[in-house]
Amino acid sequence: MTDPDPTPPAPVLLGESLRYTYPSGGRDRFTLELDRIEITPGQHTACIGPSGCGKSTLLRLLTGIMVPDRGTAWLDGEAISDASEGRRRALRVSGVGMVFQQFALLDYLNAMDNILVPYRVSGALRLDRAVRDRARSLAGELGIGALLKRKPARLSQGERQRVAVCRALVTRPGLIVCDEPTGNLDPARSRATVELIVREAEASGATVLLVTHDHGLLDGFAQVVDLGGGAG
C-alpha cells in the first residue's frame, strides 16, 4: 500500500483573476489582467517582460502596496488585497524584504542605518551586534563596505541600489521581493547581486519574486512569468 500524495505547500503568494487599471482614463490608460499566479514556499520566480507591461504593478498587487480593481491577492494565506492599509503594511514589515526601483532610502540616515531601518520600525525585530555584523557582511559582499557612513546624497545610484538590497536581506525574511534590483548596475555587479539574493534565499529557505527586464539574470529561477507585453 502506497502512502497518499503529500498535501502541496500553501502558496506564499497567490493572485487570482487580478485586474488593475491605471490611471482611470486618458491617453496613458493601462490595464493589467492576470488569471492566476502562484508562488510556493522556497520557490524562486522571475517576472520578465518589456517596460510598461505591468511587472512592477503585479509585484505591488501581490504584496498589498496596491489593491486590484478585481480579483484577490494572497500573502501567506491571508487575502492581503482585502485587508486594511495598516494590516497590509504590517504583513510586509514582518515577513517581506523588498527592493524598490526608487530604493526608498532615508536621506537623513547613513547607509548602515538605512540597512537597519526594518529594526527601527518593527517591534518584532531585535537589533543586536549579530545583526550589525550581518549588515556589514552583506555590504562587503556587494562592494559597499567602505561606504556605510555615507548618506544617500554621497552615494551613486548603483551604490544606493546595493544599500537597498542589503536592507531587504538583513532580516532574513521569508519572502524577498525585488523590483529591478540591478537596474543601475553594470553586468558584473548585476550578476553578483542576483547571485547573492538567490544564495541568501537558499540558505534560509526563503521565497523570491524578482522583477527584471534582463533575461541574462534568469539562471537559478525555477519559474519565469513572462508578461510579454500582453497586458495593457
In a domain, 127, yes or no: yes
Q: In what order do the strands lie in the sheet with 96-99?
A: 96-99, 175-179, 207-211, 44-48, 223-226
Enter the C-alpha cell of residue 144.
559597499
Looking at the structure of the chain, the number of domains it has is: 1
In a domain, 41, yes or no: yes
Distance CA 184, CA 162 (A): 9
- Residue 225 to residues 45, 111, 128, 214, Cα–Cα distance (Å): 7, 33, 38, 13
In a domain, 5, yes or no: no
Q: In what order do the strands lie in the sheet with 78-79?
A: 30-39, 13-22, 70-75, 78-79
In a domain, 178, yes or no: yes
**CATH at 51:** 3.40.50.300
**For residue 95, what are the domain limits?**
13-226
Report yes or no: 90 and 124 within 8 Å, Cβ to Cβ.
Answer: no
Measured between its terminal Cα atoms, the distance across the chain in Å is: 52
What pLDDT is stored for residue 175 in this prediction?
Answer: 94
In a domain, 6, yes or no: no
What pLDDT is stored for residue 232 in this prediction?
Answer: 31
Sign of the torsion angle spanned by Cα atoms 57, 206, 173, 17: positive
Torsion of CA 161, 163, 168, 170, to 10 degrees: 160
Grid-cell match 552583506, residue found: 138
User: How would you write the pLDDT of the chain (232 residues) with one tens digit per residue?
Assistant: 455 555 656 788 899 999 999 765 556 678 899 999 999 999 999 999 888 888 999 999 999 999 999 999 999 999 999 999 999 988 888 789 999 888 899 999 999 999 999 998 877 788 999 999 999 999 999 999 999 999 999 999 999 999 999 999 999 999 999 999 988 899 999 999 999 999 999 999 999 999 988 888 888 798 999 887 543 3
Distance CA 48, CA 41 (A): 20
What pLDDT is stored for residue 101 in this prediction?
Answer: 85
In a domain, 168, yes or no: yes
In a domain, 232, yes or no: no
In a domain, 88, yes or no: yes
Please give the model's pTM, rounded to 2 decimal places: 0.87
Distance CA 104, CA 178 (A): 13
